[in-house]
Amino acid sequence: MFAPGNRFPVLRAVLIYVLICVSMLSTFMIPSQVPFLLPEIGIPAAAVAGIAIAVFNAIGALTAMAFRRLRERFDNNAILVGTYLFLGTGLLLAGTADSVEQAMLGMVFAGIGFGPLMPTFYAWLLSIAPLDMRGRFVGGLTFFQFLGIFASPLYSQPLADRIDLTGAFALTGLAQIALGLAFAGAAISAVFLTRPQ
């Protein structure tokens, strides 16, 4: 924890900003592209797309409410491992779906991952920010959150045009899973590096 007046850990803040931007860029594919994804896999009903997005949001809301209990048991790094693994698995399931059931299961997994995402980033940033700079840097986090939302169609549509929308979801899901594994690797490395010789 940093006391007021101490130098702000810029590199860690930049990492958080980049992660939230990339996370929102990936996650916002669900509300913006699922209505186009489902017809591509043979599910044409618009109502199904609405239900899928509602399932994602509802599960996300429920897991966000459980953040306090998660935080009592796990640190930010461990929560982000689970967040990215669930989110990535959800996108991968959606991208490879050949049935309504698999697409809905993808939304459930993605919602589980998405719920704790924002609370974790806010908790992480506030844990390293000096008290007199918290408002400024939380504002920065909000800026990069909306930047990711804005950039999401600019990322997903050209990718879909190149490899189709199912491929875009699957590839993005694999990237999120890789990010989760990277956090897991960092946590394991930290344990070994801090272990007394």
Between CA 89 and CA 173 the distance in angstroms is: 6
CB 67 within 8 Å of CB 115: yes
Structure tokens at 182: 């990277």
Between CA 27 and CA 34 the distance in angstroms is: 11
- pLDDT at position 3, please? 41
pLDDT tens track, the chain, 197 positions: 334 445 567 888 899 999 999 999 999 999 999 999 988 888 877 788 999 999 999 999 999 999 999 989 988 888 999 999 999 999 999 999 988 999 999 999 999 999 999 999 999 988 888 888 888 888 989 999 999 999 999 999 999 999 999 999 999 999 999 999 998 988 787 666 555 55
With helix as H, strand as E and coil as C, how does 114-171 read?
HCCHHHHHHHHHHHHCCHHHHHHHHHHHHHHHHHHHHHHHHHHHHHHHHHCHHHHHHH
- pLDDT at position 193, please? 58
Between CA 89 and CA 107 the distance in angstroms is: 10
- pLDDT at position 41, please? 84
Between CA 79 and CA 122 the distance in angstroms is: 13
- pLDDT at position 2, please? 35
- pLDDT at position 150, please? 95
Q: What is the DSSP code string of the chain?
A: ---TTSPP-HHHHHHHHHHHHHHHHHHTHHHHHHHHHHHHTT---HHHHHHHHHHHHHHHHHHHHTHHHHHHHS-HHHHHHHHHHHHHHHHHHHHT--SHHHHHHHHHHHHHHHTTHHHHHHHHHHHHS-GGGHHHHHHHHHHHHHHHHHHHHHHHHHHHHHH-HHHHHHHHHHHHHHHHHHHHHHHHHHHHHHS--
Angle of helix 10-27 versus helix 134-163 axis, rounded to 10? 40
- pLDDT at position 88, please? 97
Contacts of 196 (CB under 8 A, 6+ apart): none
Residue range 10-189, CATH number: 1.20.1250.20
